[in-house]
A and B are shown apart, each in its own frame.
Chain A
Amino acid sequence: MSEFVYLYRNGEKMSPEQMQQQMGRWVAWMKDLETKGALKNPGHPLERSGKVVSGSNRAVSDGLFAEAKDVIGGFTIVEARDVDHAVELTAGCPIFLVGGGVEVRPIMKM
């Protein structure tokens, strides 16, 4: 088994009612991952604000966080046989319902 990180890309803004329904779906989906033995760590949400430090002079900028859509909103760590399996496990992830996406990246093991 290998470990993968799911990086969630935020979708559309939601109404309070939609957020509550969405939360219920997430809880169900995460529970499903857990039953399948795939959930290694539910992870954390990420703040929308932050800094980007770049270049040899370490220039600091605010990054492109202002636009909430497409920004990485959080992560989860899962265990899967291979990348195809990890991709398959994203089925039912509620983020797809609101125009968001999941980036699946294998965690490199030394």
Chain B
Amino acid sequence: MSLALDPHFFRHEWGRLVAVLVRAFGVQNLNLAEDVAQETLWRAMEVWKRQGTPDNPSAWLTTTAKRLVIDELRRERSRQLATPELGRLLESEWTRVPVIEELFAPQPLRDDELRMMFSLSQPRLSEESRVSLVLHVLCGFRPEEIAAAFLTSTDAVAKRLQRAKALVAASRSLFELTDADLEPRLESVQQALYLLFNEGYHGANPEAAVREELCGEALRLVELLTGHPLTRTPSTLALSALLHLHAARLQARLNAEGELLPFSEQDRSKWNHALIDKGLQLLEQSATGPSLSAMHLQAAIAACHATAASAKDTPWAHIVSLYDTMMRLHPSPVVALNRAIAVAEAEGPRQGLCELRAIEGADSFSRYPFYEAAFGELSLRAGDATEAAVHFKAAMAVARNPMEQRFYEARLTAARQLEAIGRGDSTPASSLEDNP
């Protein structure tokens, strides 16, 4: 018997095992790699539940997985199991064991996970498929767990995964980090991690624990990127900074009843200052090289919020200027929306409303509650409770989970109360939902 395991030990080991097994069997045998990883963990569960966890559980898993690989190669001698690059070495009884030993050596393990992450992030796959694949193959989530996080059906996720895996398997070889496509592929990986984190931060599942886990996985995987010299680029560092700065606020986003709190009402003492410091340090390290990525700008904005003593003390004018830059480099309706909110803080709600109305492509917000919510808040602050109520109602209609729904419902009630009193000129000190 030894110390208690990390609560997500199995899941993390899963990612490592699949990555190294894919290197042994080849990416075309992704399913076999998953079966062997599953069998390894199943054996651990069966043996450890009777005998207790061994002193070095990772080493136990490695030994078991190696044995299973050898069995599999012996049994399936006729089939072409091994990857082309290792095939010969793995087929020969003389070289098989040393090659497998090398495959499972600790350092290449981390690289394997990284290569796996790049192999899964095929630009040809949709965003949802990429995120689902990373969650499934590297993080060990089963379709039903992914479906729970995204509030979709298990069937739909299973089908999506199957198609995506077939596409990855057809690529025949693992992505090489020295490949000429490293840069475009890196962007695709970064985007997948950003989406993964966002799903945790804003996602459909109201259960806080599920969502924090997704954020935790995104942080773990982004650290793999910053840990390798080829992928530790300024934009990776900026992404890592952004995720750390947002993660710092996770605990403060909910009140004691588990309901969402507006950003301005969050108890800033509950922010995780270790994560903020790490984020600021990463942001500083990211400030090299000639290109200013969208990640840099977003991280810089997050840093303004993270270091302000209160919502009032936030350097709103500076944030507006950062959004101006972002609009120049990477214009989008979402950026424009966030900019409008910052303008309202810097120059007043009426100015903010003007900016909101001026957003081009606002029709893309039909399923995005923050747009209507922003109109609602700013109308309320500008003294127009009737108008505010209309917008909060619209926001409720497109809320993505019950927690958001209750949040907008509460704002709607507040607007109606003010409307009834006919006292639209003084508004409560409330603000928008925390929106990264």
| Residues in chain A within 8 A of chain B (CB atoms) | 13-20, 22-23, 26-27, 30, 42-45, 73-74
CA distance A18 to B14 in the complex (A): 12
State how many angstroms separate the Cβ of A102 from the closest Cβ of chain B: 14
State how many angstroms separate the Cβ of B204 from the closest Cβ of chain A: 19
Interface presence of B50 (CB below 8 A): yes
The majority secondary structure among interface residues of chain B is helix
Interface presence of B38 (CB below 8 A): yes
Residue pair B145, A17 in contact (C-beta under 8 Å): yes
Chain B residues whose CB sits within 8 angstroms of the CB of A73 once the complex forms: 46
CA distance A71 to B42 in the complex (A): 14
Residue pair B145, A44 in contact (C-beta under 8 Å): no
Question: Which residues of chain B in 128-174 are interfacial with respect to chain A, using CB atoms and an 8 Å cutoff?
Answer: 140-142, 144-145
Chain A residues whose CB sits within 8 angstroms of the CB of B42 once the complex forms: 14, 19
Chain A residues whose CB sits within 8 angstroms of the CB of B49 once the complex forms: 23, 26-27, 30
CA distance A45 to B48 in the complex (A): 10
Residue pair A17, B141 in contact (C-beta under 8 Å): yes
Chain B residues whose CB sits within 8 angstroms of the CB of A18 once the complex forms: 142
Contact sample, A vs B, 26 pairs, CB 8 Å cutoff: A13-B38, A14-B42, A15-B141, A15-B142, A16-B11, A17-B10, A17-B141, A18-B142, A19-B42, A19-B45, A20-B8, A20-B10, A20-B11, A20-B45, A22-B45, A23-B44, A23-B45, A23-B48, A26-B45, A26-B49, A30-B49, A30-B50, A45-B46, A45-B47, A73-B46, A74-B46
Q: Which of A16, A43, A45 has most B Cβ within 10 Å?
A: A16
Q: Which of B5, B38, B50, B52 has most A Cβ within 10 Å?
A: B50
Chain A residues whose CB sits within 8 angstroms of the CB of B48 once the complex forms: 23
CA distance A78 to B363 in the complex (A): 67
State how many angstroms separate the Cβ of B290 from the closest Cβ of chain A: 42
Chain A residues whose CB sits within 8 angstroms of the CB of B14 once the complex forms: 16
CA distance A16 to B17 in the complex (A): 12
Residue pair B11, A17 in contact (C-beta under 8 Å): yes
Chain B residues whose CB sits within 8 angstroms of the CB of A22 once the complex forms: 45
| Residues in chain B within 8 A of chain A (CB atoms) | 5, 7-11, 13-14, 38, 41-52, 140-142, 144-145
CA distance A18 to B7 in the complex (A): 11
Residue pair B41, A16 in contact (C-beta under 8 Å): yes
Chain A residues whose CB sits within 8 angstroms of the CB of B13 once the complex forms: 16
Q: Which residue in chain A gives the minimum CB-CB distance to B6?
A: A20
Query: In the complex, given contacts A16-B140, A17-B11, what are 9 additional A-B residue pairs having Cβ atoms less than 8 angstroms apart?
Result: A15-B140, A16-B14, A19-B10, A20-B5, A23-B44, A42-B50, A43-B50, A44-B50, A45-B43
Chain B residues whose CB sits within 8 angstroms of the CB of A74 once the complex forms: 46
Chain A residues whose CB sits within 8 angstroms of the CB of B9 once the complex forms: 20
CA distance A83 to B49 in the complex (A): 25
State how many angstroms separate the Cβ of B173 from the closest Cβ of chain A: 26
Q: Which residue in chain A gives the minimum CB-CB distance to B140?
A: A16
Chain A residues whose CB sits within 8 angstroms of the CB of B44 once the complex forms: 19, 23
Chain A residues whose CB sits within 8 angstroms of the CB of B140 once the complex forms: 15-17
State how many angstroms separate the Cβ of A49 from the closest Cβ of chain B: 9
State how many angstroms separate the Cβ of A107 from the closest Cβ of chain B: 19
Q: Which residue in chain A gives the minimum CB-CB distance to B144?
A: A15
State how many angstroms separate the Cβ of A94 from the closest Cβ of chain B: 9
State how many angstroms separate the Cβ of B216 from the closest Cβ of chain A: 12
Chain B residues whose CB sits within 8 angstroms of the CB of A44 once the complex forms: 50
Chain A residues whose CB sits within 8 angstroms of the CB of B145 once the complex forms: 15, 17
Q: Which residue in chain A gives the minimum CB-CB distance to B50?
A: A42
Residue pair A45, B41 in contact (C-beta under 8 Å): no
Chain A residues whose CB sits within 8 angstroms of the CB of B11 once the complex forms: 15-17, 20
State how many angstroms separate the Cβ of A12 from the closest Cβ of chain B: 10
State how many angstroms separate the Cβ of B281 from the closest Cβ of chain A: 31
State how many angstroms separate the Cβ of A11 from the closest Cβ of chain B: 12
Residue pair A19, B50 in contact (C-beta under 8 Å): no
State how many angstroms separate the Cβ of B152 from the closest Cβ of chain A: 17
CA distance A74 to B49 in the complex (A): 12
CA distance A26 to B52 in the complex (A): 11
State how many angstroms separate the Cβ of B284 from the closest Cβ of chain A: 36
Closest 5 CB pairs of A and B: A45-B46, A26-B49, A15-B142, A16-B10, A16-B140
CA distance A19 to B49 in the complex (A): 11
CA distance A18 to B45 in the complex (A): 10
Q: Which of B14, B38, B45 has most A Cβ within 10 Å?
A: B45
Q: Which residue in chain A gives the minimum CB-CB distance to B71?
A: A49
Chain B residues whose CB sits within 8 angstroms of the CB of A26 once the complex forms: 45, 49
CA distance A26 to B14 in the complex (A): 21
Q: Which of A23, A27, A44, A73 has most B Cβ within 10 Å?
A: A23
State how many angstroms separate the Cβ of A68 from the closest Cβ of chain B: 9
CA distance A45 to B44 in the complex (A): 10
